[in-house]
Structure 1
């Protein structure tokens, strides 16, 4: 958090900017947007409230920046997509998610800065070079977790699931090293984790029922037939596909949505030359937006809970962030290099 604040503090609304940077860093550890919203939001929201930040503004920033963890590797959703799509490298998908995920974060920071300027949340006094170096060095043991998890997955030392377990053990070790936690705190932590997990599992369960209903009614197949029957224009098909995925994402959890719609949409986009890696990033980006929109947005519900606000209260604050993420989605969709340049650079795709 201190390291995130060092970089975020240069802009209007420094604590909100730190929230965005911290969510991006946390996403590079957990691979889960819900986990980022709960952990980072639960840490920074009380600090923001103490500093006089509007709770609705703080919650909106936390909610809309948390999905970056589903694009910045390791990403649980990209792992699911890799499994369904067939011979698509998880490593290639992970590396491909960096630029779109960072673009999302930058977009949220820009909107947050504009809103913070209107709310008169000024930037903080800058640290001296010496102080900045100390903050970064203090954060190195924590930031090493990103290197350990991503490096281990890319090198094939362990799977993404095993990497998450290693992250928990390493984080537990650091919490004792930093003297941030005592053994007596563990029962409370377990209870809090169980409560938050219960909410997430319930949301996934409800969306899974919805996905079963859609499959039973053959809705995905009808969507594919409709798409191909309307036009043969690549641009029009991609726009329609994005609209459909945005709508689907508002009702379904990303995991069942990927399982259902990848086999339907992937052959269509491959027919006009879109690579599976590029499509995977576009698909997950769409579904990430769905996690922060009602009525079935797990990150939206989690962010509201930790921010102690209602969906009705925070919704109008979310609208500018929705707009910027959709603009970035269109850029990612129609400019393949944003998704493909890094995998090509690392030799993961040709």
Structure 2
């Protein structure tokens, strides 16, 4: 019966049915085939119980914070601040793209939102300075995957909710890996820039640097207060999302004066729609995970993995390969929701810290945004930047390779992930 269910699952995906609907449909089909009425009767309760988690409150709140920060004029100030700092180096605008994405990552936490936003801002600017459009688009796409790594991160919230792992611990653990990814992309840009003789921008004056720095300080208050608040124990990771919304509103309305009250209803609607999409997917995945547990698939995978090797090094290598392949075909959040319950029993067997594994699985699935055939980041940037899909894939290959190398560093250098959480007792 398992193979029949898998076959139906693949067919429904190939028909283009949304993954959330596929998860729900395949579960109901399975329960009908089993013929156990108790399973069907319990399904509605399971459907809603998957959403009864305090940590999930952070999802709409961080989405709203991102909307408020974007409409409040934060994006342009962060980009300008980055340009003033490093824009005068060879390939300066490419560095600016990476640094701006790192700043925005501490506000948005969504790679797709960041890719869309930065494609509108940076690709035309880089092309104007003489950079090839394909390269401009590829670096914008690649650096957007830093968004789910640097806190706050929606994908960390979902993993923490599903696995029972500390969301605050995941947030803090993402800081060093996020910096590693940023430095990795900077080194690659340096090599490409020297090879292709990228242009330089005009060096900013001290007066411009001082003024830009003063202007950007309110924008940086949000990530600063989130991290300090969590580390000091003033509020939880979930509560920090509410604090972020309040600060973003105050900064946009009273400091920058670009956030207008009349825009709030539109932002609320956008937040509700995006939240509904995510929570519906979580609810469907919850009953799908229940079906997987009923079929004892996690135990089967555990036994299979242990039969191959009991070495954690080999296990993590197999996990990376499997997740990179899955990320090529499934949306990252959907794959995370499906696979987290499957992998959690393995962590005890191989003595792997759940925070470390959380970074591994989240980064793996985020890299899927760069890989065809269904990498959503590729479609977003290709459409907004007006670059041929196949050309964008080709231009993104060096950055995809660099991302995989950095993933392996984070996989086998656990201290890079766990140093800060251990330091603060998380």
Query: TM class by shorter-chain length?
Result: 0.7 to 0.9
Structure 1 match to 2:187 = 110
CA contact (8 A) 1:266 1:279 kept: no
Deviation at 1:234, TM superposition (A): 2.0
Q: What are the equivalent positions in structure 2 for 1:1-350 lying under 5 Å apart? A: 1-87=79-165, 89-152=166-229, 167=244, 170-171=247-248, 174-175=251-252, 177-178=255-256, 223-348=301-426
Structure 1 counterpart SS, 2:191: helix
Structure 2 counterpart SS, 1:69: coil
Change in Cα spacing, 1:42 to 1:103, as seen in structure 2 (3 Å) is: same
Larger Rg: 2
Deviation at 1:211, TM superposition (A): 9.8
Question: How far apart, CA to CA, are the structure 1 residues paired with 2:101 and 2:323?
Answer: 24
Question: How far apart, CA to CA, are the structure 2 residues paired with 1:99 and 1:41?
Answer: 25
Change in Cα spacing, 1:345 to 1:157, as seen in structure 2 (3 Å) is: closer
Tell me the matched-pair count.
347
Change in Cα spacing, 1:255 to 1:178, as seen in structure 2 (3 Å) is: same
C-alpha offsets along residues 184-223 of structure 1, whole Å, 9 cap, x if unaligned? 988999999999999999x99xx99x99999999877665
Question: How far apart, CA to CA, are the structure 2 residues paired with 1:216 and 1:292?
Answer: 34
Deviation at 1:267, TM superposition (A): 2.5
Deviation at 1:303, TM superposition (A): 2.2
Question: How far apart, CA to CA, are the structure 2 residues paired with 1:43 and 1:94?
Answer: 27
- TM-score (norm. length: structure 1): 0.83
Change in Cα spacing, 1:254 to 1:221, as seen in structure 2 (3 Å) is: farther
C-alpha offsets along residues 126-147 of structure 1, whole Å, 9 cap, x if unaligned? 3344432332112111111222
CA contact (8 A) 1:11 1:113 kept: no
Question: How far apart, CA to CA, are the structure 1 residues paired with 2:210 and 2:313?
Answer: 47
Change in Cα spacing, 1:68 to 1:213, as seen in structure 2 (3 Å) is: farther
CA contact (8 A) 1:242 1:286 kept: yes
Deviation at 1:345, TM superposition (A): 1.4
CA contact (8 A) 1:45 1:306 kept: no
Question: How far apart, CA to CA, are the structure 2 residues paired with 1:213 and 1:60?
Answer: 39
Question: How far apart, CA to CA, are the structure 2 residues paired with 1:27 and 1:347?
Answer: 24
Structure 1 match to 2:25 = none
CA contact (8 A) 1:30 1:164 kept: no
Consecutive unaligned residues in structure 1, runs of 5 or more: none
Deviation at 1:125, TM superposition (A): 3.9
Consecutive unaligned residues in structure 2, runs of 5 or more: 1-78
CA contact (8 A) 2:151 2:171 kept: yes
- TM-score (norm. length: structure 2): 0.69
CA contact (8 A) 1:85 1:262 kept: yes
